[in-house]
Amino acid sequence: MSKILLFAGTTEGRLLYEYCVEKKLPVTACVATEYGKNLLEKGDWGSIQEGRLNSQQMELLIREEESTVIIDATHPYACDVTENIKQAAQAAGVPLLRVIRETLSVKGIIEVKDMEETIRFLNNHEGNALITTGSKDLKEYTRVKAYQDRLYIRILPDPDALRNCLELGYQRKNIICMQGPFHKELNYAMLKQINGKYLVTKEGGSLGGYEEKAEGGRMAGAKVIVIQRPKEETGFSVEEIIKKLTAWNG
């Protein structure tokens, strides 16, 4: 029977964890934060490891858990984490399956290459912006002119993320702590409430609410700024990985 080490923290990670627990496949889920841990239930066949790990710590965990397969279900923009997982799996000699999200083609958006281009765009265009790219890049956004007044940050209701927002100088009235998914109507309503001229997002696929963000932006007459994925990846969908696990475990 497979002994699975699952790097989670995404919707795909939660779905795969729940599948393993339901099918009685031993699984350890790795999540970075307490908030991510609270989204999962241990169960008789599942355990949860909280905390950020480097590649050496990942390799040690793989050996301690005697893992027979590793699943990388981290976010498509978490390139450093994915590289660390890859290095750890190779060092331990354990097969690695990478979960990938489908790419979606959405019309009427403004694509930017990276965070530098995002900051440059916002500094060259006036108006309020709804930032929906998560808490990782909050410090980068402080380089936007008048960011305390112009930027409205939507983050998960995680105490550490909120504390970081406040320490970086974001106003309380400009911080929205909510867990998605968000319908297009809610994205529209938020943009109208803040008089938002822009919505900044990442190309997170259907599970990341990408289409709903783009449509909500169009409804509100806002321009949708999309930070492109950092690189092309190969891997498997959640359904394909489930089929592999099913085949391996009868």
**pLDDT for 236:** 93
**Which of 147 and 207 is assigned the larger pLDDT?**
147
Residues 233-240: contacts with CB under 8 Å, at least 24 apart: 233/76, 233/82, 233/98, 233/100, 234/98, 234/100, 235/72, 235/97, 235/98, 235/99, 235/100, 236/97, 236/98, 236/99, 236/100, 237/99, 237/100, 237/102, 238/12, 238/15, 238/16, 238/73, 238/99
Q: What pLDDT digit, counting tens, does each position of 89-98 carry?
A: 999 999 999 9
Rounded distance between C-alpha atoms, residue 9 and residue 223, angstroms: 29
Reply yes or no on whether the pLDDT at 45 is more than 90.
Answer: no
**pLDDT for 101:** 82
Look over the chain and give the mean of its residue pLDDT values, rounded to a whole number: 91
Reply yes or no on whether the pLDDT at 55 is more than 80.
Answer: yes
Reply yes or no on whether the pLDDT at 207 is more than 80.
Answer: no
**pLDDT for 140:** 96
For the chain, the domains span 4-100+233-248, 110-227
**pLDDT for 2:** 76
Q: What pLDDT digit, counting tens, does each position of 19-44 carry?
A: 999 999 999 999 988 877 887 877 77
Percent with pLDDT over 90 in the chain = 70
Into which CATH architecture does domain 4-100+233-248 fall? 3-Layer(aba) Sandwich (3.40)
User: Is the model's pTM score more than 0.85?
Assistant: no
Reply yes or no on whether the pLDDT at 232 is more than 80.
Answer: no
Reply yes or no on whether the pLDDT at 86 is more than 90.
Answer: yes
* Pair 70, 62: CB distance under 8 Å: yes
**pLDDT for 248:** 84
Q: What pLDDT digit, counting tens, does each position of 3-12 carry?
A: 999 999 888 9
Could you please state the CATH topology (level 3) that the domain comprising 110-227 is classified under: Rossmann fold (3.40.50)
Q: What pLDDT digit, counting tens, does each position of 137-167 carry?
A: 999 999 999 999 999 999 999 899 999 999 9
Match 């100088």 to its residue by tokens: 169
Other CB atoms within a 10 A radius of the CB of residue 3 amount to: 14
Topology agreement, domain 4-100+233-248 and domain 110-227: yes
**pLDDT for 1:** 64
Q: What pLDDT digit, counting tens, does each position of 103-140 carry?
A: 767 778 899 999 999 999 999 999 999 999 988 899 99
**pLDDT for 146:** 97
